[in-house]
Amino acid sequence: MIPPPPTAASSSLDHQYAHLLGESDLPRAPPSRMRWLVLSLTCTVLVGCWFAYDQVAALNIPLETYLHLATPAEYQYLIGSFYIVYSLPNIILPFVGGVLIDKYGPRTIAVLFSLLVVAGQLIFVTGLVDRTPGWAIFGRFVFGLGGETLSVAQQHITTKWFRGTELALAVGINLSIARVGSVINDIVSPYLAHRYSIPLSLWFGFATCIISLAGTLVLVVIDQRYSHLAGSSRELWQVRRGIRHFPRAFWVIQVVMVLLYGTVVPFNTIHSAFLAAKWYPGDAERAAQVMGVPDTLSAVLVPFAGSFFDRVGYRAHAIVVCGAMIGMCHFVLGSVPATVMTSPVPVLMVLGSSYALLLTFVPCIPLLVPPGFLGTAYGINNSIANMAWGLFPVLIAALATNDPTYYQTEMFFALCGFLSIVVGLYVVKLDRRDHDGILRKPAVAAGASKPHTDDWDAVPVLDSDSDGG
CA 262 vs. chain centroid, Å, equals 12
Please give the distance of CA 210 from its chain centroid, rounded to a whole number.
20
Tens digit of each residue's pLDDT (9 = 90 or more) over 298-343: 878 888 888 888 888 888 899 899 999 999 999 999 999 988 999 9
Residue 78 identity (one-letter amino acid): L
Closest to 67 measured CA to CA, from 82, 52, 57, 78: 78
What confidence score (pLDDT) does residue 199 get? 93
b/e per residue 403-418 (b: at least 16 CB within 10 A): eeebeebbbbbbebbb
**For residue 2, is pLDDT > 50?**
no
> Which backbone phi and psi does 463 adopt, to 5 degrees?
-55, 125
- Among 263, 295, 22, residue whose Cα is nearest residue 178: 295
Q: What is the mean pLDDT of residues 276-290?
A: 82
The Cα–Cα gap between 130 and 224 comes to 41
- Which pLDDT belongs to residue 444? 56
> What are residue 234's DSSP bridge partners?
463
Q: Is 116 exposed, middle or buried (0-12, 13-18, 19+ CB in 10 A)?
A: middle
What pLDDT was estimated at residue 334?
93
Give the least confident one: 259-263, 265-269, 342-346, 365-369.
Answer: 265-269
The 10s digit of each residue's pLDDT in 180-205 is: 777 788 888 988 998 899 999 999 99
28-37, 161-170, 406-415, 459-468 — which is least confidently predicted?
A: 459-468
pLDDT of residue 215: 92
Q: What is the pLDDT of residue 462?
A: 36
Average pLDDT over residues 93-109: 83
**Res 421 pLDDT > 90:** yes
> How many CA atoms lie less than 13 Å away from 50 in the CB half-sphere?
21
Contact 367, 438 (CB under 8 A): yes
Q: Between 219 and 237, whose confidence is greater? A: 219
Decide if 125 contacts 2 (C-beta within 8 A).
no
Interval 82-106 mean pLDDT: 82
What count of residues does the chain have? 469
> Distances in Å between the alpha carbon of 43 and those of 110, 180, 248?
13, 10, 31
Per-residue model confidence (pLDDT) at position 217: 94
Q: Does an H or E element contain 183, and which? A: helix 167-195
**How far is 196 from 416, CA to CA, in rounded Å?**
39
Ordered alpha helix ranges (H), 279-344 = 284-290, 292-312, 315-335
Helix then strand count (H, E) for the chain reads: 19, 0
Give the pLDDT band (50/70/90) at residue 447: low
Over the stretch 113-156, which tens digit does the pLDDT of each residue have? 999 999 999 999 999 999 888 899 999 999 988 888 888 888 88
Q: Which of 40, 41, 43, 62 is nearest to 51 (CA)?
A: 43
3-class DSSP state of 463: strand
Task: Assign 3-state DSSP to the chain and report helix, strand, coil percentages, each to 5.
Answer: 80, 0, 20
User: What percentage of the chain reaches a pLDDT higher than 70?
Assistant: 83
- Check whether 468 has a pLDDT greater than 60: no
Residue 456: pLDDT above 50? Answer: no
Whether 279 and 344 have beta carbons less than 8 Å apart is answered as yes
Q: Which CATH class is domain 8-18+31-236+246-448?
A: mainly alpha
Looking at per-residue pLDDT, the higher value among 120 and 106 belongs to 120
Distance of alpha carbon 178 from alpha carbon 48, whole angstroms: 8
How large a percentage of the chain has pLDDT more than 90? Answer: 27
Q: Can you spell out the DSSP letters for 16-57?
A: GGHHHH-GGGS--PPPHHHHHHHHHHHHHHHHHHHHHHHHHH
Does residue 242 carry a pLDDT above 80? no
Distance CA 211, CA 458 (A): 40
pLDDT of residue 288: 72
Higher pLDDT, 39 or 444: 39
Chain mean pLDDT for the chain: 79
Q: What is the pLDDT of residue 31?
A: 60
Residue 73: the pLDDT is 79
What's the pLDDT score for residue 214? 94
The Cα-based distances of 370 to 45, 154, 340, 449 in angstroms read 25, 18, 52, 13
Residue 216 CA to residue 221 CA, distance in Å, equals: 9
Taking 80 as the threshold, does the pLDDT of residue 79 lie above it?
Answer: yes
Q: Alpha-carbon distance 289 to 183, whole Å?
A: 9
| CA dist., res. 412 & res. 270, Å (int) | 13
Q: Which residue has the higher pLDDT, 314 or 372?
A: 314
**C-alpha to C-alpha distance for 268 and 302, rounded to whole angstroms:** 19
